[in-house]
Homo-oligomer: A and B are copies of this chain.
């Protein structure tokens, strides 16, 4: 056969829904020498990353670690560990990722009820109250920042309701972690998953998760084995905990990258990072308005790191995105599902949440429209 040539990826400005631009310090860590997954030096890196992840999640949870897969592996980790066949679960659905949660939960054999909202709007806590009035749920799951719609879901009231009814709160923070407050302990989130390739400014490949003691207790009380061996936290916590029991070979290089990405976020400071994401988001809204491009989401629930903007009348969706690639090396995201052809999604995440990136995009769009 003909052997493929050496790859030579283009230099893109990644302003889509992720992956986001990677800090060069993080990229450098990827090419550090590989060591074994039971090497004492690697075990130390794991401990340090767990401590930093706790800070990111604002939690004292013992269990805070990166699963060896991308964000959806983290989603599946939460569902397969918490749910057994027949368990009742309530899921908020107002975008792709809520929809995906339903599919994942059904594959666990759970009884799934949903609270729905139009894509691009937030879930209404009143509907969760109504649902709890009819039955009780072991787990209630919502997406914090819906990457498909640009909505940042307010969590306080939903969290209060779930706890009043003794449920476990499961939150998707794939896109929000590091870019907006994710206060696991303060809100009482019981299971939370994220990813590396959005506001942490790291390549995709790992999924940080954290479980509260209540959630771990629920895993311990299971009558059946977790349906996924690869994602079974009762075994994985023995590798990340003091026992160091081999489970699977951790992705060493990706763990090096995550370690540096966490250092970068914490050096800046979490609050400073949240503020920066908010400020750059505001600059984007201002710059887009100059081009008569309007935000698609109501101000109070806009996710700062993933901006849904309305495609202006007369603009050719696919053509503009293609020319952004071809002429400007800029990636932005298309709309999905009912929002296809109606919105663009502009990610300003992690290392990419910088005013100069907004300017690059604004200048490019000005020339394309």
Contact = CB atoms under 8 A, between A and B. Distances in A.
Interface of A: 1, 3-4, 6-7, 9-12, 14, 16, 18-19, 21-22, 27-37, 39-42, 45, 48-49, 51-52, 55, 68-73, 75-76, 100, 103-104, 106-108, 195, 197, 203-205, 225-230, 248-254, 256-257, 259-260, 262-263, 266-267, 325, 331
A42 B19 CA distance: 12
A248 B262 CA distance: 23
Contact of A12 (B27, B29, B33, B51): B33
Given A19-B34, A34-B19, A73 B230 contact: yes
Contacts of A263: 3-4, 6
A13 to B, nearest CB: 10
B37 A204 contact: yes
A252 B51 contact: no
B31 A30 contact: yes
B32 A9 contact: yes
Contacts of A7: 29, 32, 45, 48, 256, 259-260
Contacts of A266: 1, 3
B226 A107 contact: yes
Contacts of A262: 4
Contact of A69 (B35, B39, B230, B253): B230
6 contacts: A1-B52, A4-B262, A7-B29, A9-B33, A197-B249, A227-B228
A248 B229 CA distance: 20
A254 B37 CA distance: 17
A4 B52 contact: yes
A10 B30 contact: no
Contacts of A252: 19, 203-204
A28 B253 CA distance: 12
Q: Which 3 A-B pairs have the closest CB atoms?
A: A205-B251, A4-B48, A30-B30
A59 to B, nearest CB: 12
A126 B184 CA distance: 57
Given A30-B31, A253-B30, A267-B3, A36 B331 contact: yes
Contacts of A30: 27, 30-31, 253
Contacts of A197: 34, 249
A197 to B, nearest CB: 6
Contacts of A45: 7, 9
A225 B195 contact: no
B41 A9 contact: yes
Contacts of A73: 68-69, 230, 248
Nearest to A25: B6
B19 A249 contact: yes
A256 B203 CA distance: 11
A70 B255 CA distance: 13
